[in-house]
Chains A and B, each alone.
Chain A
Amino acid sequence: MKNKASFVPQEGEVRSSRCPDNSAFKQQKLPAWKPQLTIANVLSSFFLTGTFCLTVGVCLILSTNSIGEIQVLLTEYSLPLLFLGEVFMYYGLQNFYENHRRYMISRSDAQFLGRKFSLYYEISYCAPFTTYRNGTPMAPCGAIANSMFNDIVDLFYSLNSSVIQVPLLKTGNSWWTDKNVKFRNPKSYSLSPAFAGTASPPYWQKPVYLLDEEDERSNRYVNDYFIIWMQVSAFATLRNLYRRIRWIICRCTCPVSRSYWNLNIHLSDFRVSRFKGRKHVILSTVVRSGGSNPFLGIAYVVSGTPPSLWHGELLSIENSTRKCQLNFQKVNTASCE
Chain B
Amino acid sequence: IVRWRRELGTEAYIPQRFPDNRIVSSKYTFWNFVPKNLFEQFRRIANFYFLIIFLVQLIIDTPTSPVTSGLPLLFVITVTAIKQGYEDWLRHKADNAMNQCPVHFIQHGKLVRKQSRKLRVGDIVMVKEDETFPCDLIFLSSSRGDGTCFVTTASLDGESSHKTYYAVQDTKAFHNEQEIDALHATIECEQPQPDLYNLQRIKEITEYNNLVNSAFMKLLYFAIFSKTSCLISGVAIYTGMETKMALNYQAKSQKRSAVEKSMNVFLIVYLCILISKALINTVLKYVWQSEPFRDEPWYNQKTEPERKRNLFLRAFTDFLAFMVLFNYIIPVSMYVTVEMQKFLGSYFLTWDEEMFDEDTGEGPLVNTSDLNEELGQIEYVFTDKTGTLTENNMEFIECCIEGHVYVPHVICNGQVLHDSTEIEICKPLFNTEELFFRALCLCHTVQVKDDDSVDGLKKSQLSRRSCIYISSSPDEVALVEGIQRYVCNWEGLRTLCVAYKKLTAEEYSNAQKLLQNAKLALQDREKKLAEVYEKIERDFILLGATAVEDRLQEKAADTIEALQKAGIKVWVLTGDKMETAAATCYACKLFRRNTQILELTTKKIEEQSLHDVQDGSSGNYRELFLEICRNCSAVLCCRMAPLQKAQIVKLIKLSKEHPITLAIGDGANDVSMILEAHVGIGIIGKEGRQAARNSDYAIPKFKHLKKMLLVHGHFYYVRISELVQYFFYKNVCFIFPQFLYQFFCGFSQQTLYDTAYLTLYNISFTSLPILLYGLMEQHVSADTLKREPSLYRDVAKNALLRWRAFIYWTFLGVFDAVVFFFGAYLLYDNTVVTSNGQMFGNWTFGTLVFTVLVFTVTLKLALDTHYWTWINHFMIWGSLVFYIIFSLLWGGIIWPFLNYQRMYYVFMQMLSSGPAWLGIILLITVSLLPDVLKKVLCRQLWPTATERIQVKIFFIVKLVFCITNL
Contacts and interface: CB of A to CB of B under 8 A. Distances in A.
Interface of A: 1-4, 6-12, 15-16, 18-22, 26-39, 42, 45, 49, 53, 56, 60, 86, 88, 90, 92, 96-104, 106-110, 113, 122, 125, 127-129, 143, 146-147, 173-175, 177-178, 181-182, 228, 231-241, 244, 271, 274-276, 284, 286-293, 295-296, 299-300, 303, 306-307, 310, 314, 317-318, 321, 325, 328-329, 332-333, 336
B303 A127 contact: yes
Contacts of B182: none
Interface of B: 23, 25, 63, 87, 90-91, 94-95, 97-98, 132, 154-155, 223, 225, 245-246, 249, 251-252, 254, 293-294, 297-304, 339, 342-343, 347-348, 351-353, 356, 361-363, 365-370, 689, 715, 744-746, 748-750, 776, 778, 781-782, 823, 825-842, 844-846, 866-872, 894, 899-902, 904-905, 908-909, 913-915, 918-919, 922, 925-926, 929, 932-933, 935-937, 939-941, 948, 950-952, 954-956, 959-960
A101 B835 contact: no
Contact of B348 (A28, A32, A56, A231): A28
A128 B745 contact: no
B828 A21 contact: no
Given A6-B90, A28-B348, A275-B294, A15 B837 contact: no
Given A3-B368, A6-B95, A34-B866, A177 B299 contact: no
A6 B899 contact: no
Nearest to B849: A234
Given A3-B366, A9-B223, A173-B838, 13 more contacts: A4-B87, A6-B91, A7-B95, A22-B353, A29-B782, A36-B954, A113-B894, A182-B904, A235-B825, A235-B830, A236-B744, A290-B915, A291-B831
Contacts of B302: 102, 128
A175 B839 contact: no
Contacts of B745: 97, 99-101, 236
Contacts of A110: 899
Nearest to A92: B830
Given A1-B370, A288-B914, A103 B299 contact: yes
18 contacts: A3-B368, A6-B90, A7-B94, A9-B155, A20-B363, A28-B776, A28-B782, A35-B866, A35-B868, A97-B294, A99-B745, A99-B750, A113-B901, A177-B904, A234-B840, A287-B835, A290-B831, A291-B832
A-B CB proximity, top 6 nearest: A291-B832, A9-B155, A147-B299, A6-B94, A234-B842, A290-B915
A42 B951 CA distance: 14
Contacts of B955: 325, 328-329, 332
A1 B339 contact: yes
Nearest to A97: B746
Nearest to B364: A20
B867 A34 contact: yes
Contact of B829 (A38, A113, A178, A293): A293
Contact of A1 (B342, B746, B932, B939): B342
Contacts, number: 319
B361 A240 contact: no
A2 B827 contact: no
Most buried by B among A22, A36, A182: A36
Given A32-B868, A178-B905, A235-B828, A143 B299 contact: yes
Contact of A234 (B95, B846, B868): B846
A264 B149 CA distance: 114
B106 to A, nearest CB: 25
A275 B297 contact: yes
A289 B835 CA distance: 6
A293 B831 contact: yes
A178 B353 CA distance: 61
B905 A296 contact: no
B272 to A, nearest CB: 26
Nearest to B828: A234
Nearest to B248: A7
A284 B839 CA distance: 13
A240 B952 CA distance: 60
A329 B941 CA distance: 18
A296 to B, nearest CB: 6
Given A34-B868, A122-B899, A296-B918, A7 B904 contact: no
A332 B894 CA distance: 64
Given A12-B154, A34-B866, A234-B845, A109 B902 contact: yes
Nearest to B862: A35
Given A28-B348, A37-B932, A290-B834, A146 B342 contact: no
B293 A276 contact: yes
B164 to A, nearest CB: 21
B905 A177 contact: yes
Contacts of A291: 831-833
A26 B294 CA distance: 62
Contacts of A235: 744, 825, 828, 830, 842
Contacts of A37: 932, 935-936, 939
A122 B900 CA distance: 11
B298 A271 contact: yes
A156 to B, nearest CB: 22
B223 A7 contact: yes
Contacts of B870: 30
Nearest to A182: B904
Contacts of A122: 899
B154 A36 contact: no
A239 B829 CA distance: 10
Contact of A86 (B339, B823, B837): B837
A1 B298 CA distance: 58
Contact of A56 (B832, B842, B909, B918): B918
B96 to A, nearest CB: 10
Contacts of B842: 98-99, 104, 232-235
Nearest to A45: B932
A96 B63 CA distance: 20
Nearest to A290: B915
B959 A333 contact: yes
Given A97-B297, A147-B299, A102 B362 contact: no
Contacts of B845: 234
Contact of B959 (A88, A177, A288, A329): A329
Nearest to B160: A12
A282 B483 CA distance: 108
A186 B748 CA distance: 33
Given A122-B899, A290-B835, A33 B868 contact: yes
A100 B748 contact: yes
A181 B936 CA distance: 51
A310 B251 CA distance: 58
Given A291-B833, A307-B929, A7 B915 contact: no
Nearest to A28: B348
Contact of A26 (B252, B351, B909, B951): B351
A202 B871 CA distance: 60
Nearest to A146: B299
Nearest to B826: A295
Contacts of A286: 832, 834-837
A333 B748 CA distance: 66
A332 B959 contact: yes
A300 B914 CA distance: 14
B843 to A, nearest CB: 8
B513 to A, nearest CB: 39
Contacts of B154: 9, 12
A33 to B, nearest CB: 4
Contact of A18 (B132, B363, B750, B868): B363
A178 B342 contact: no
A236 to B, nearest CB: 7
A329 B98 CA distance: 66
Nearest to A293: B831
A298 to B, nearest CB: 9
A113 B956 CA distance: 67
Given A182-B901, A296-B827, A1 B368 contact: yes
A317 B293 contact: no
